[in-house]
Structure 1
Amino acid sequence: MPGPKLEPVISDTALPASVDVVVIGGGIAGTCAALELAERGLKVALCEKGEVGAEQSSRNWGWVRLSHRDPREMPLMVEAVRMWQGLDARLGADTGYKQCGITYTLASDAEMADAEVSVAEQNKYQIPAKMISASEALSRFPGLSLDIKGAMYNPADGRAEPQKAAPAVARAFQERGGTVHQNCAVRVIETAGGRVSGVVTEHGKIACSAVLLAGGAWSRMFLDNMGIYLPQLRTTSTVIRTTPIPEGPEGTIKYKTFTARRRADGGYTIAGADTGRCEITPDSFRLFGAFLPTLKNEWRGLKMTVGRQTLEGLSRRRRWGPADRTPFEDTRILDPVPDRKAADRMLAALKAAYPVFGAASVAHCWAGEIDVLPDVIPAISATEGVKNGVPGLYIATGFSGHGFGLGPAAGRLAADLVSGHAPIVDPTPFRLSRFTDGSKIAPMIGITTR
């Protein structure tokens, strides 16, 4: 089943001969970075091999959360929430953003302990997260019956509409003089004098002095063609959109077997960890050592499978030149097959626990491929200083299933690095060189992704 229907973005008709910056990738991070750069007076072209927002930026859960964040991400997420609050006015468009509150139910003493750590971390930033009793948590959702010990509640957590957000940002970017080129894969980066001088796309060349790669799950492949190391794998997750539930809850809830958040169309986005899977590919073996800490802590619930990605990984070319057709042209949009059985179990569990969803039916079911790094935080960084890195080449990728909420601030930080502005937050935790400079690489225990 194809992915969600996106709001349209009309491509510009011709490639510019030259710009200051080329952004590769039209997801939430790439579009937000492009907008920032255009607002600073730079000439920017955004090249997307498929359609703006068509991969994980429109297939995610739509959460904009401060809770359960890795402490290394918290400063960036605090800025992101501030930016989300003013984003609709800035864009002159509706992204569906709302601070609706999220209730994270907790079924064990270990989960309660993890949540207390998360609350304490958030409270350092004056974020009003708190622990609440089981009865108080359930009272927020009349009729809900769950066996829980308590919950973490954060009224500052919210939601937005993934099918609206990246397209709205892209259109605002065009209004500020930027150009958007869909179905236009960048094949290679050109250099002169040891630094970026342009890109070669499938439709021609664009001269530029800087490139930002915001390619999501494709970033490792693009960088690997240049000999630049990025330890990135993919996981797949299934999501349901339900028919409208007029009496459904306003707040978002997370339970061990399902999550539910209200949509602008009156339906609900239903998701959960039980639908996650990881297909074994050649990169699974190449990167096994790098991902061992993640496998121990973060991927315990993932199903390891063999499927389409396995076959594609075995046959896909790993090297190409400017005149060659690339894998980005062979697969315009990653559209994995959803796990419908797991999705049905998830919806059945929700209906059993919460009678208000008894009449809900599946309006749409899709899957998305999530790009993951070993420490489960993104790489927002220059490539200069790493092996085969190029001055003028920057990356914003590896958001590990929780990049939608970070998007506006991630884009600003990337734009700061590209343009030489003072960074919105300390970029050190997100440097690409952390994977090769001897730093200890590990995810934060107890942090929940998505």
Structure 2
Amino acid sequence: MTKTLEVVGTQDQLPDSTSVVIIGGGIVGVTAALALAERNIPVVLVEKGQIGCEQSSRNLGWIRKTSRHLHDVPLAVAADKLWAEMPDRIGRDVGYKQAGIMFLSKTDAQISMQEDWLKSVESLSLDSRMLNAQEVDNLAPGGEGDWLGGLYTPSDGYAEPSIAAPAIAKAAVEKGTVIIQNCALRTLTKTDGKISGVVTEKGEIRCNQVLLAGGAWSRRFLGNLGVSLPTLPLICSVLRTKPMDGPTNIAVGGPDFSFRKHKDGGFIITQRGKLDAPLVLDHLLIGYRYLEQLRTQYSFLQVKIGSPFFKDLGLSRKWGPKGPSPFEKVRVNDPAPNEYLNQQALNNLSNAWPAFKNAEIEESWAGLIDVTPDSNPVIDKIKSIPGLTVATAFSGHGFGTGPAAGQLAADLISNVEPIIDPSPYRFDRL
């Protein structure tokens, strides 16, 4: 994980009871906890490792509406407002900057795809617009990338993943949430078919409702309950440079690199054109569900078999309340970064903006992304288990929509008017 992740101090004593138990201390879990606590609903959040220690602190920090599916844009728009309000709401900085995001194109085909997306969202009155080559150079001067143009959304931006989830968690605690770290939740208990509590490695908690916001672990947890959530893993490698002058504060995505300014003065960089796809048992079980995506979207995947396959086989898929569960065996999903891809990204970026030729790498890391067959998350109640709500499987873009996704999950649990129409995220579509 990034070494800049802030540590949250929490209690170790497990309460006997609460109204809602949240599983997972990522951006969605802590935001849902905050929203519920603000409504004076008792909440206990349990995290098997450390707050924000997996993908919520390992992503690029982008907060974007650009290039999202049409039905996913309302959640991103709602998230924009919540990110902007977050510092005042919680009394802490989350590194939010509405600096804009610009996606670059070198070919007519890429330009055409961007224009098609822009037409698809005309009804939403976004501030997105196409750029010509001169406008690209004006917004990010000093480049030598020979771009035809790009797609730019000034109201997009970014925040700092290493401080956002911890800051929100601290605010949730101040408003009454109980957070227990290094505490894996093993299973649920039921009375008359409905959730009546949970069993953790440290004991039981009585409750009426549970929110599963477990990221890439959600498929395994639900599978133990007889519920099939189709997700497969991808790994994104990232690097951060030492402080340096760069071409722009706008977040920029090229075909084979992306970059954005970091709060410490360096840049967050990744190889946008390639992701690692480690084969695991689930590829054999549900891989056929992804054939269409592989044909149309995922030609940039680097598929390989290796140690992740055997590590995955070594983790239980069935266990009971006495455990131990796989979440106790692996506290933190911590894949090694692909340094070859990181160096490739830096080289590609340096060719486009020579200012990066002298960049020095401060650190690198990788994060595991859980992807659904349609690349959209699930935020819904599970009908077969009354009292269970899930907000998971964000397919690599959960940080940006995290505050709105957590709010939506809290709305569903509270049975109030939801922040946006939740139907695009229903579980039964999968």
Q: Tell whether the structures are fold-level matches, with TM greater than 0.5.
A: yes
1:355-434 residue pairs with structure 2 within 5 A? 355-384=354-383, 389-434=384-429
DSSP-derived class of the 1:117 partner:
helix
Q: Give the whole-Å Cα distance in 1 for the aligned partners of 2:378 and 2:120.
A: 22
1:163-242 residue pairs with structure 2 within 5 A? 163-242=162-241
1:175-324 residue pairs with structure 2 within 5 A? 175-324=174-323
Post-superposition Cα deviations, 1:122-159, rounded to whole Å, max 9, x if no partner, equal 44322211001012112222211113221111111101
TM, length-normalised to structure 1: 0.94
Q: What residue in structure 2 maps to residue 76 of structure 1?
A: 75
C-alpha contact (below 8 Å) 1:66/1:157 kept by paired residues: yes
C-alpha contact (below 8 Å) 2:235/2:275 kept by paired residues: yes
C-alpha contact (below 8 Å) 1:59/1:162 kept by paired residues: yes
Q: What residue in structure 2 maps to residue 329 of structure 1?
A: 328
Q: Give the whole-Å Cα distance in 1 for the aligned partners of 2:274 and 2:299.
A: 13
Q: What residue in structure 2 maps to residue 448 of structure 1?
A: none
Q: Give the whole-Å Cα distance in 2 for the aligned partners of 1:200 and 1:159.
A: 37
**Percent of residue pairs identical:** 42
Post-superposition Cα deviations, 1:161-203, rounded to whole Å, max 9, x if no partner, equal 0001100110000000001111000000111011100100000
Q: Which runs of 5+ in 1 are unaligned?
A: 436-450
Q: Give the whole-Å Cα distance in 2 for the aligned partners of 1:306 and 1:363.
A: 29
C-alpha contact (below 8 Å) 1:61/1:269 kept by paired residues: yes
- For 1:71, give the aligned amino acid: L
Q: What residue in structure 2 maps to residue 442 of structure 1?
A: none
DSSP-derived class of the 2:309 partner:
helix
Q: Give the whole-Å Cα distance in 2 for the aligned partners of 1:314 and 1:112.
A: 43
Q: Give the whole-Å Cα distance in 2 for the aligned partners of 1:357 and 1:114.
A: 28
Q: Give the whole-Å Cα distance in 2 for the aligned partners of 1:35 and 1:308.
A: 38
State the Cα distance separating 1:115 from its structure 2 match. Answer: 0.9
State the Cα distance separating 1:314 from its structure 2 match. Answer: 2.1
C-alpha contact (below 8 Å) 1:371/1:401 kept by paired residues: yes
Say which is worse superposed, 4-13 or 21-30, in terms of deviation.
4-13
State the Cα distance separating 1:248 from its structure 2 match. Answer: 4.2
Q: Give the whole-Å Cα distance in 2 for the aligned partners of 1:103 and 1:313.
A: 37
- For 1:118, give the aligned amino acid: W
State the Cα distance separating 1:315 from its structure 2 match. Answer: 2.3
TM, length-normalised to structure 2: 0.98
DSSP-derived class of the 1:72 partner:
helix
Q: Give the whole-Å Cα distance in 2 for the aligned partners of 1:11 and 1:403.
A: 24
Q: Give the whole-Å Cα distance in 2 for the aligned partners of 1:110 and 1:383.
A: 41
State the Cα distance separating 1:275 from its structure 2 match. Answer: 4.2
Q: Which runs of 5+ in 2 are unaligned?
A: none
DSSP-derived class of the 2:410 partner:
helix
Q: Give the whole-Å Cα distance in 2 for the aligned partners of 1:354 and 1:247.
A: 9
Say which is worse superposed, 422-431 or 49-58, in terms of deviation.
422-431
Say which is worse superposed, 137-146 or 16-25, in terms of deviation.
137-146
Say which is worse superposed, 288-297 or 18-27, in terms of deviation.
288-297
C-alpha contact (below 8 Å) 2:216/2:233 kept by paired residues: yes
- For 1:43, give the aligned amino acid: P
C-alpha contact (below 8 Å) 1:122/1:129 kept by paired residues: no
Q: What residue in structure 2 maps to residue 161 of structure 1?
A: 160
Q: What residue in structure 2 maps to residue 144 of structure 1?
A: 143
CA distance 1:428–1:183, shift in 2 (3 Å):
same
1:103-122 residue pairs with structure 2 within 5 A? 103-122=102-121
RMSD of equivalent CA atoms: 1.2
Alignment coverage as a number of residue pairs: 430
1:5-154 residue pairs with structure 2 within 5 A? 5-154=4-153
Q: Give the whole-Å Cα distance in 1 for the aligned partners of 2:155 and 2:120.
A: 14
Post-superposition Cα deviations, 1:379-426, rounded to whole Å, max 9, x if no partner, equal 000001xxxx20000100010000100000000110111111111111
C-alpha contact (below 8 Å) 1:66/1:122 kept by paired residues: no
DSSP-derived class of the 2:358 partner:
coil
